[in-house]
Amino acid sequence: MWCTWALGRVVLAVVFLVALAAGDAAPPKVHRNHGKFTAGPWKQAHATFYGGRDGSGTLDGACGYKDTSKEGYGVQTVAVSTPLFGAGAGCGACYEVKCVDSPDGCKAGAAPLVVTATNLCPPNPGQSNDNGGWCNPPREHFDLSMPAFLQIAQEKAGIVPISYRRVPCVKVGGIRYTITGNPYFNLVMVSNVGGAGDVAGLSVKGNKRVKWTPLKRNWGQEWQTSEVLTGESLTFRVMTGDHRKATSWHVLPPDWQFGVTYQATKNFN
C-alpha cells in the first residue's frame, strides 16, 4: 500500500516537470550564427526629401555616422521617423522603396531603390500628421536624401506615397570599427554591417586583461564602455536585430589608435 502511494507521487512529480518543461518554462533565447537575413513584407508609407542635390546636408546625423559617403553608404540614405529609428536601434537597416499611386509624382518606369537608414526624421508637433508633420509618431515615414528621392519621384511632388520593405544590406568588405574618446571612456562606432544592417548588441574582448565585456548604446550606432582597452589586440562580437552574431577576431592590433577605422575580414550575409 505504501509503495503504491509513493510510486504515485513520483509519477505525478515527473508529469509535472515534463509539463513545466514543455509549456510553462520560458523558451531559450535564440541566437543565430549562420544563415541570411530575408526581406520583410511590403508596407505602405510616404516619402519626402532633404538636403542638397549632391547629398550635402545628409552625410551625418542622429546615427553617429560622420560621413556616409566615405563610410560605405554613399548618398543612398534616408532619415526615418521615430517608430523606425527606435532610439538608434534602426540605424544601418536597409529598405527597398518604390513610388506608388501617384502618376504626377512618381517617375514612370523607375526601379525600386535600396537605401540605408542613417538619420532620424524628427517629429514636428506644431504641424498635423498629414500636413507638414510627416514624421510625427506613429507615422512610418522616409525622408530620403535628395539624390535618392529624385531616382523614384519628381522634385515638384514634394511628398509621394511609397511601398517599402526591409531587405538585406549588401556590403563590400568586412564590418568596420572606429574608437573615439580616451583610455577611460571609449565610444565604438560600428559601420558597414551587412545582413540585417542594424546592431542590437556589441561586446569586446582583449588578448590579455580584458575579458568579454558588453558595451552600451550611447546614441545611434555609437557604443560605450569605460573599460581600458588600450595596449591590447581587440576582438568585437556584433549581434544584429535578427539575433545573428559575427565575431571579428583581433580586428584591432595591440597598437590601435583612436580615430582610426579598422575593417574585419568577414561580414554578415
Mention every residue, 6+ apart, whose C-beta is less than 8 A from residue 231.
208, 254
pLDDT of 269: 81
HSE (CB half, 13 Å, CA atoms) of 206?
A: 13
| pLDDT over 60 (residue 249) | yes
Average predicted confidence (pLDDT) for the chain: 89
Fold of 43-166: Barwin-like endoglucanases (2.40.40)
Number of neighbours of residue 36 by Cβ within 10 angstroms: 13
Residue (of 190, 168, 192, 167) closest to 179 by Cα position = 190
Task: Over range 211-233, report the average pLDDT.
Answer: 97
Phi/psi class of residue 13: alpha, beta or left (left: φ > 0; alpha: ψ in -120 to 50)? Answer: alpha
Q: Report d(CA 51, CA 116) in Å as an integer.
A: 16
User: Given pLDDT bands bounded at 50, 70 and 90, which one contains residue 11?
Assistant: very low
Specify burial of residue 225 (Cβ count, 10 A radius: 0-12, 13-18, 19+): buried
pLDDT in tens, 81-132: 999 999 999 999 999 999 999 999 999 999 999 999 999 999 999 999 999 9
- Do 189 and 221 contact (CB within 8 A), yes or no? yes
pLDDT of 165: 98
pLDDT of 170: 95
| pLDDT over 80 (residue 226) | yes
- Do 48 and 144 contact (CB within 8 A), yes or no? yes
Q: Which helix (H) or strand (E) holds 14?
A: helix 2-19
pLDDT in tens, 19-42: 334 444 444 454 455 678 999 999
* Domain residue spans of the chain: 43-166, 175-264
pLDDT of 72: 83
**Widest Cα–Cα separation across the chain:** 90
| pLDDT over 70 (residue 8) | no
- The pTM for the full model equals 0.86
pLDDT of 159: 97
Classify domain 175-264 at the CATH class level. Answer: mainly beta
Mention every residue, 6+ apart, whose C-beta is less than 8 A from residue 178.
188, 189, 191, 259, 260, 261, 262
pLDDT of 35: 74
Residue (of 122, 109, 110) closest to 150 by Cα position = 110
- % of the chain beyond a pLDDT of 90: 84
